[in-house]
Structure 1
């Protein structure tokens, strides 16, 4: 008697990737995570946190002990720190060039991304991201100006070392995603910058991905009064 071949249970397909995001208008970390995913070419379902979510609001107002949005879920893996998302995507899609090929350039890229990730608190609080806003004549206080000066120093150094138009040369990297919200801040508050830095800002602002994000941000109905003040 011939036995029928046993059938193994089919392996279910992996769950589609998703990216949890907060306000497009105000959340600089959501923008960073979203750009990283786009740079890597990973298709994701976007999951928006409700505007009245207390945790998301505390993060936007810099009152939360840590940042849990954006959060990438991919094939059973959950990653919620923006730098961790960047490193995960670099392993997933190394051909995307999120990190430069040269070892020294990779170290430099990681260093300035880490500086953006952990520093510039005065810049964050004094010039919050607000893509709907426009504040000509905005007065930048001294400590925030120190942060801005350091950012411009980083950009100038990278552009001189690697030749532009992006921070690490001809290809976009995780550094461009990490500093993109600062580009929008300097544009929103009309902060004067050097010609090379202005050229870099124009390059970032012209990205189709960033243009799409800004367009979506302008359609968001909710506003957070604390972040819409004219200081």
Structure 2
């Protein structure tokens, strides 16, 4: 398998797909395509490997099979290795985990636009709108419910590391970057995600990158 991703410092969806590949336990090759560089548009339009996704990352190639979009990649890999590797076995827990993953996939646009992922930086007192605050409250509410109802088996949302955690990992990064104040249970959860071996490997690679995307370096003004 080959996973094509964007800059590790900035690409939240690439992080999700990369963590999904790690979670699968399958061997994969990774290829980083620097986003928004001088030749980015040329790469998007000319690369045969990016053609199925119209130049977007991440995209996973597995022989003749090609999968793009992080959620589709999670589902594809879960089908290959067994869904229990990604999703809770308990029916009620699995229902909530799927719903939380789907909501992260389709929602929280104010948070994404105002507080872009930037693994390397720390930007305290970032500009905040009511819409962003509402997104943060909603996410913390879901985290609290998942931990209280289904998190007894470990430090992650549903006990053991799974699809919900890898989907919310970029949110953990954002909360740390912008100094978002969170309650104690969320601090403990974020620490567990941040200190996970796979996250530490991603963070080290992000910090070693030389690419800088200026529009993601300065938070959007409110």
TM-score range, shorter chain: 0.7 to 0.9
Deviation of 1:55 after TM superposition, in Å, equals: 8.2
Matching residue of 2:90 = 102
Instruction: Compute the RMSD of aligned alpha carbons.
Output: 2.0
- The Cα offsets for residues 62-81 of structure 1, whole Å up to 9 and x where unpaired, read as xxx98831111113210001
Deviation of 1:165 after TM superposition, in Å, equals: 1.1
Deviation of 1:224 after TM superposition, in Å, equals: 0.8
Instruction: Return the index of the structure with the highest Cα Rg.
Output: 1
Match for residue 167 of structure 1 among 152, 157, 168: 157
- The Cα offsets for residues 103-133 of structure 1, whole Å up to 9 and x where unpaired, read as 2222211110000000000000111000111
Match for residue 87 of structure 1 among 53, 75, 84: 75
Distance 1:213 1:192, change over 3 A: same
Match for residue 183 of structure 1 among 158, 172, 190: 172
Instruction: Output the CA distance in 2 between the equivalents of 1:67 and 1:137.
Output: 34
TM-score norm. by structure 2 comes to 0.87
Is the Cα–Cα contact under 8 Å of residues 18 and 47 in structure 1 kept in the other structure? yes
Is the Cα–Cα contact under 8 Å of residues 18 and 44 in structure 1 kept in the other structure? yes
Instruction: Please identify, of 27-36 and 69-78, the stretch whose mean Cα deviation from structure 2 is larger.
Output: 69-78
**Aligned with 1:46: secondary structure?**
strand
2:1 pairs with 1:22 = no
Deviation of 1:96 after TM superposition, in Å, equals: 5.9
**Aligned with 2:66: secondary structure?**
strand
Mind listing any 5+ residue stretches in structure 1 that lack a counterpart? 1-16, 58-64
Mind listing any 5+ residue stretches in structure 2 that lack a counterpart? 45-52
Matching residue of 2:131 = 143
Number of residue pairs aligned between Structure 1 and Structure 2: 207
